[in-house]
Structure 1
């Protein structure tokens, strides 16, 4: 199994990307890695001697580049070359910490959509403070700002498949993100989507869910348009960081009493931090394209890169894309 990696994408590239690859290389003996980027910079950090190939590229797509234009004009960029490797079957999956829009464009324009998927969506995995599964999937978390009801319905099917076949959730509960739990709530799109989800008996649809309930484990898959989903994603991330920062400041300001209390609760506080660490679930997955295309946060460190590569390995081990394509064709046949 080979993973094509945009080694130049992200705030701390290529260092954090390469160090994360080294960690994954040491643990997963059945993985091979193709690193695309500036060979001289990559070799500064690379420890692995086998199962790793470096393909030198001369261009980098920055965070400020316009996504589609960059994909079309920067043909020798690390991201475009990595995407082409997947398209040409030289690699099985694509990974980047770089420009989100450019990665989405590369996934759609180079890797390509699965037949029948009208609007691939970005799926993120987020922790919960209660519930049996410990996390929930949010789809779409930023690929499409505007969506129709039928797109939200497809996101439910995509999210259900990922939750059950990659995360191992049984009979995943599907919730529609809305501004109230009542059936009549929301705008025209969410009201239409509600009826589509309710009518599909194959879905364990639990109805509308509010943003305030997501971290309580109210459902396993949350469906939303990309604009709303991305806003919720960033609000949760920001709140988690804010709470941790507030806790640290409170302990410092409490003087000796606070420090003693923190010392006594050291292991418990570490447990909370670990439980709320989104990076342990890997990156955001572009679902609906012909190969695993996964995006980690631009500020990712080596540990986050490692977790994301582990996530990709799980997807490859489960042959997720091939299985999902067959599953989707079966659904299309039934509808016909």
Structure 2
């Protein structure tokens, strides 16, 4: 029995995207939360919590895109053809946000508000269009003769737009619980106050997406609600409810680390639900990972490089988060 290189590459891409969602999620969430914090000093603290790591977080986005190009070129061609505009808007948001991140601390006080607005706008734009791209992907991409057969504006539909707003809620909660973990005093208290309503918003939009998807796609409904699949997959929504209750309890008890960890669990459960709905199709609704795969020789060749570089990415990521652990304060920075 040979090695299933397509399956290995699918796992690598899924892992890379999950790492990006986790790490750049709270990073973008801080920009989304900026309008709720008016004090310049507290905004400085918010940015300083991610200043040492924010650019490294996007390594996983690059890895996922490069892996998709090398291992599943058909999926890369179809997905980019379908989603050029939302992905371009996402990249423009990330560019504005990155420039604002660097220039805000160097700007004169009377001009700092310009970079604050760029940081907020870039974070919202990048997050919204990530969600739009995800929603359009879930809705399905028509393929005829191994070519995208849809239009360039097919993503302008109710479900993708709703997914854009849903992802804003998810990243906002990630950023909020990250700041609970990394800050003290009034700012931390404000984030505790925001976490509860954000959690309810996230639960609501998750419920809507979870119902909308099977109602709009009969094959997904069949996968979730047919027997015995229903019993196999029922733990996912039950764990969402249990995790949500635990999140509310830890926020109510003013815990530091538990809210962020439980929010990560919520994101992971949502991600796993998406995987259950779409697997093994890499181009929904009908093109599987094996149909979109590059030749085994190509997959094997690039796998050698991936297995060499991914451990280094994991090591420097872990080391950077270890070095910059602890709380951030206005007078001492990290301590």
Q: TM-score, normalised by structure 1?
A: 0.30
Q: Which has the higher strand share?
A: 1
Q: Which has the higher helix share?
A: 2
Q: TM-score, normalised by structure 2?
A: 0.30
